[in-house]
Amino acid sequence: MTTPLKIASRTEGKDTAILSLTGEVDVANAGRVRDAGLKLISDGIKHLIIDLSPTDYMDSTGLGTLVGLHKRLVESEGELIVAGPQPRVERLFEITGLTQVFRIFDDVDAALKEVRG
């Protein structure tokens, strides 16, 4: 039995990628998100946009995973950017104070626009 989660990634230019998480991110599958993010970082990605618009559920394990990826990106002068979280997922960021850690945009296009400057 596994929690449904579909992970898709695409790159934009040399150092930006979008990781889309469709379904539920929880203790059973957050490791897959971590692995996908670390792979992109090892490939030279500095700006990692996490598309949460198709994410129906996320728990603190998922949040912790995003924080870990963000730390690694910051070490290489990059960052993890959150895009399009649904209200319940966005509330989780607010409850935990992580709105002070991540930049959160309404959607991927807005995040990409910010990254491109």
Partner 1 sequence: MKTTTPDQVEIRLPRRAEFVRVARMAACAVASQLDFTYDVVKDVELAVGEACANAVEHVAEEGCNEILVRFGIDPTQLTIEVLDRGQGFDPNEAGGGREQDWDDPGGLGLGLVVIRELMDDMVIECDEATGTCVRMVKYRSR
53: Cα separation from own chain's centroid: 11
Sign of CA dihedral 16, 106, 74, 28: negative
CB of 102 to partner 1, least distance (A): 12
CB of 108 to partner 1, least distance (A): 24
Binding interface with partner 1 (CB under 8 A): 1-3, 24, 26-28, 30-31, 34, 57, 59-61, 63-65, 67-68, 71, 88, 92, 95-97
CB of 114 to partner 1, least distance (A): 23
47: Cα separation from own chain's centroid: 10
**Cβ-based nearer residue to partner 1, 92 or 110:** 92
Burial of residue 30 (number of CB atoms within 10 Å: 0-12, 13-18, 19+): buried
